[in-house]
Structure 1
Amino acid sequence: MGSTDGGPFRRMLRKLTSDVETLDADALSEDSERSGAQRASDCVSGQEVTMLGRLRSVEFCPQEAEASLEAELFDGTEGVTLIWMGRRRIPGIEPGRTMRVRGRIAERDGRKVIYNPYYEICQAQ
């Protein structure tokens, strides 16, 4: 029986004809799955999750009530916004870093978010 992705020739052809962003998303998704982390696209509000992905953006958000540091974690399937309340900067939290995060998924303005996640910065592979 062949694999569900069409076999080695089809995988090779796909690698030759896909753009770099698609291949990067596929690699991130495979790394996440191999590590036992949940896929962002499968997570729902209220669920306790462990995710693995790469930070796409990091920004300080000064707000009237309370400032926060926000970062978008992309795992190859979907982005999740990580929000650290009351933080201006966290050493090592910068775009391009691969991280494993753990927390409870919530929804804000139609986007998936995790507030004050536990995190581990992973070594580049």
Structure 2
Amino acid sequence: MVEKSRLRRTISKWANNSDQHARDLRAQYVGDGDVCIGEAVDRTLVTLKGTIRSLTVRPRGGVPALEAELYDGSGVITLVWLGRRRIAGIDPGRSMRVRGRIGVHEGVRIVYNPRYELMS
């Protein structure tokens, strides 16, 4: 019984830290007229800011494609650069600003070939 409550406390503490981290990211990236990822409207041209969570190289239509997950605390959007295997400076944990049109492919929100600016 004691172990169960210790496990619950540990999970609760982790969940609260994740919520605080998400709030901190939203405060850092959303402002100055920018739209947060969670509220961005599909099929519109948007400017988004966030942190790269993961990078993957996947073929799309027979050509390589670099995929990155951008997270700002409110949601995640997939960025896809067609014909690229690597882009210098784009690594997990890197902050960036992107501009492009949001689309949906197989239920996943995607921006293809976005313009980007690396942030410090």
> For the superposition of Structure 1 and Structure 2, which TM-score range results when normalised by the shorter chain?
0.7 to 0.9
1:72 correspondence with 2:36: no
Post-superposition offset of 1:17: 9.3
1:44 correspondence with 2:41: yes
Alignment of 1:39-118 (within 5 A): 39-63=36-60, 65-118=62-115
Equivalents in 2 of 1:61, 1:18: separation in Å? 32
Q: Which residue number corresponds to residue 29 of structure 2?
A: 32
Q: 1:17 to 1:55 in 2, by over 3 A?
A: closer
Q: Is the 8 A contact 2:60 2:82 kept in 1?
A: no
TM-score normalised to structure 1 length: 0.79
TM-score normalised to structure 2 length: 0.82
Equivalents in 2 of 1:52, 1:26: separation in Å? 14
Post-superposition offset of 1:65: 1.8
Deviations 1:6-30 (A, max 9, x none): xxxxxxxxxx996332222111111
Q: Percent identity?
A: 40
1:120 correspondence with 2:105: no
Equivalents in 1 of 2:14, 2:59: separation in Å? 43
- Paired residue type of 2:47: T
Larger strand share, 1 or 2: 2
Equivalents in 1 of 2:77, 2:63: separation in Å? 21
Which sections of structure 2, spanning at least 5 residues, go unmatched? 1-12
Which sections of structure 1, spanning at least 5 residues, go unmatched? 1-15
Q: Which residue number corresponds to residue 23 of structure 1?
A: 20
Equivalents in 1 of 2:114, 2:66: separation in Å? 12
